Amino acid sequence: MKTLREAKVGQTVTVVRLHGAGAVKRRIMDMGITRGTQVHIRKVAPLGDPIELNVRGYELSVRKADAEMIEIA
């Protein structure tokens, strides 16, 4: 299982599954990160947190803890 946190800058990946439950999972889904969505990793902050993404045509910053819950292919 590979997570969004392991993806490299410049890579475009597809979301396979969201892990976690309740409010956290709901918040990730509300940001537009759902199964089958293409996600482009734009950049990672110097200390690795947050990760800047391009999802559905808009910019989004995600914490490492949240990126760990997003399984990718």
CATH numbers and ranges of domains, the chain: 2-72 (2.30.30.90)
Global confidence as pTM: 0.88
**Nearest CA among 53, 54, 66, 62 for reference residue 23:** 66
Give the pLDDT confidence of 41-52 residue by residue, as tens digits: 999 998 878 999
- Kindly give the parts of the chain with pLDDT less than 50: none
Distance between CA atoms of residues 59 and 39, nearest Å: 10
